[in-house]
Structure 1
Amino acid sequence: MVSVTINPAGRPPAFARGLPVTVDVPDNGTVADIKAAIRAKFPQFHLSRQKLSVPSDKKAIVDETRVQDLFADASAGELVVKDLGPQISWRTVFLIEYVGPLLIHPVFYYYPRLCYGQDVQHSSMQTYVFALVMGHFVKRELETMFVHRFSHATMPFFNVFKNSGHYHILSGLLLALDVYRPKYSAPAVAGTLMENSTFLNVCAGLVVAFELCNLNAHMVLRSLRPAGTTKRGIPYGFGFGLVSCPNYLFETLAWTTISVMTGGSPASILFLVVATAQMAAWAMKKHKMYKKEFGKSYPRGRKAMFPFIF
């Protein structure tokens, strides 16, 4: 057995005021076993709330790490535990994020008198955008339920409000309020590209194509991570030959096309800019992670998100 002394990082939560404590785990145990031992002493200290690290480094130790790899002394050691606060599953957060636009857009599209104080004779553009936006977020919900595998089971509960704001407000409330308003009604855009069936069909075809490419990228990433693991591999396949995150690239192209369909409506441009900036930050983080983890094995010519540029 290995005796591990657990010290609190700062002031411990009320339900763990007994810290520091010493727990015993098997010689062949893992960090997950240490967390389970801590919870055995403090039942409210759920495993998802615990962040364990060595005293000299605040970086979290992954659950699969073996105890014998943590300490120079094979019989004893010391770790620090931090309370991450109430947690919520990533899958639940994603489902909540994406349901916002699915509820908001139909209200503005089907009940314009309630939203604008008058009826709106929808233009072809408004109908196309409504169908494409709804299709996008239905796809995202289905991917969340059946495709995505998450490296972390949970996130802090209060993140759900921050994360949902991006979708509920920018791609939900503001986009719907802007795109379905009388300014873009059939009489208002008569004779413009927004009523041109060829233009709209080409744009819609591009959006669907980009969405399918995005789905393909997600399926490639899923195939690299067996269920119940945090394992990663080098992704290959369509799009991955040029960038580390083609899923973000194709999503950006889809929303760019939708913005073009609207004639560059202010809300569509705002959402496109904010979403692209956020995805670019995620892409760069993943790109650096891939290069660090796989070293010389990782293809040198790949960019993070935009081919040959970034």
Structure 2
Amino acid sequence: MVNVTISAAGHVPLARGLPITATFDEDATVADVKSYVTAKFPQFYAARQKLSLKGDRKALADNSTLKEAGIEDGGELSVKDLGPQISWRTVFIIEYIGPLLIHPLFYHFPKVFYGGPVQHSTMQKYTYAFVMLHFLKRVLETVFVHRFSHSTMPFFNVFRNSAHYWLLSGIALAYAVYRPAYSATSPYILGTIHNNPNFLFACGALWLFAELSNMHTHLTLRSLRPAGTTKRAIPYGYGFSFVSCPNYYFEVLSWVALAVMTGSYTAWVFVIRNLGLGSVRVTLFDWYPRGGRGSSNRWPV
């Protein structure tokens, strides 16, 4: 048996009774300690807790035993309140639902945003279909495909994470591509490559290839992690032999197809942001053999 003192790291309003001392079996895990804290302070649920060794900021893994963590009889742990939490799955759905709500508004109600009707060009129709299908696919993958290493994240981060999708690929992109300047009667469209069926078909084919390839890599990653675990493994096969993160690569490629098709500066800004910022970090030019510099461990959570 191991006696452990659990003290507060900083301000922990939901556990004002800390510090407390508890007795655990030697094979008890960090998750067991969190459950004990929750039993004492019901509002301080496990996802809000960060347990560390006294004087150390590094979080202890939930599946680590007290012995593995270096806790001996009379040892002390510090618990930090991470604040309100929200599930990663819910965060993803909130992010992707934004464009699914925003694009139909700009497309179907142009009088509200542009002051008059818009006779949509074929290019605009393609763009609308591509955007809606892309984010519908992302929602379905979030619900039925993705498995997450961490169950939750701080609630207030959802606003920062969602801004990328709601503002840039939502409002900014929708306003730019459905405006009269891209309509069927616009000089930008009439007699140009943006009204050429072969060009639009080629862009559509590239987009479809990228979307299906992206889905394939997500299914490959899912197969590496049994349900209910945080197991990690090295993926092989389609895409993974050429780039470190083919799921991100194909994601960006699909947006490149849309940006080329529309010629919209806003679409290109979204591509560039996907390359270097936000939740999508792609290693687009990382063409090294597996085991070399390109074989990173940057897989999605």
Instruction: Give 1:139's match in structure 2, choosing from 119, 137, 140.
Output: 137
SS in 2 for 1:186: coil
Instruction: Give 2:291's match in structure 1, choosing from 279, 282, 299.
Output: 299
Which residue type is aligned with residue 71 of structure 1? G
Measure how far apart 1:304 and its partner are.
5.5
Map of 1:174 onto structure 2:
172
Question: Following the alignment from structure 1 to structure 2, what is the Cα–Cα distance between the partners of residues 182 and 304?
Answer: 45
Measure how far apart 1:275 and its partner are.
1.6
Measure how far apart 1:145 and its partner are.
0.2
> What is the alpha-carbon root mean square deviation over aligned residues?
1.8
Structure 2 residues without counterparts, runs of 5 or longer: none
Are 2:43 and 1:29 equivalent residues in the alignment?
Answer: no
Structure 1 residues without counterparts, runs of 5 or longer: 288-297, 306-310
Question: Following the alignment from structure 1 to structure 2, what is the Cα–Cα distance between the partners of residues 193 and 4?
Answer: 71
Q: 1:282 to 1:252 in 2, by over 3 A?
A: closer
Name the count of aligned residue pairs.
290
Which residue type is aligned with residue 70 of structure 1? A
Measure how far apart 1:76 and its partner are.
3.3
Question: Following the alignment from structure 1 to structure 2, what is the Cα–Cα distance between the partners of residues 150 and 23?
Answer: 31
Question: Following the alignment from structure 1 to structure 2, what is the Cα–Cα distance between the partners of residues 276 and 89?
Answer: 25
Are 2:12 and 1:12 equivalent residues in the alignment?
Answer: yes
Question: Following the alignment from structure 1 to structure 2, what is the Cα–Cα distance between the partners of residues 120 and 179?
Answer: 11
SS in 2 for 1:79: strand
* Match runs of 1:130-279 below 5 Å: 130-188=128-186, 189-263=189-263, 265-278=264-277
Measure how far apart 1:244 and its partner are.
2.0
| Larger helix percent | 1
Q: Is the 8 A contact 2:275 2:282 kept in 1?
A: no
Measure how far apart 1:273 and its partner are.
1.2
Q: Is the 8 A contact 1:242 1:301 kept in 2?
A: no
Measure how far apart 1:267 and its partner are.
1.3
Q: 1:49 to 1:283 in 2, by over 3 A?
A: farther
Moved over 6 A (4+): none
Measure how far apart 1:11 and its partner are.
2.2
Which residue type is aligned with residue 254 of structure 1? S
Are 2:45 and 1:46 equivalent residues in the alignment?
Answer: yes
Which residue type is aligned with residue 46 of structure 1? Y
SS in 2 for 1:88: strand
Question: Following the alignment from structure 2 to structure 1, what is the Cα–Cα distance between the partners of residues 177 and 281?
Answer: 28
Deviations 1:188-243 (A, max 9, x none): 11111111111001101110110111111111111111111111001111111122
SS in 2 for 1:244: coil
Q: 1:94 to 1:103 in 2, by over 3 A?
A: same
Taking structure 2 as the reference length, the TM-score comes to: 0.92
Deviations 1:133-161 (A, max 9, x none): 00000000000000000000000011111
Q: Is the 8 A contact 2:6 2:18 kept in 1?
A: yes
* Match runs of 1:73-84 below 5 Å: 73=72, 75-84=73-82
SS in 2 for 1:187: coil
SS in 1 for 2:138: helix
Q: Which moved more, 1:245-254 or 1:3-12?
A: 3-12
SS in 2 for 1:82: strand
Q: Is the 8 A contact 1:244 1:303 kept in 2?
A: yes
Are 2:75 and 1:68 equivalent residues in the alignment?
Answer: no
Are 2:115 and 1:117 equivalent residues in the alignment?
Answer: yes
Deviations 1:10-65 (A, max 9, x none): 1222x211111112222211110000011111111100000111124312111100
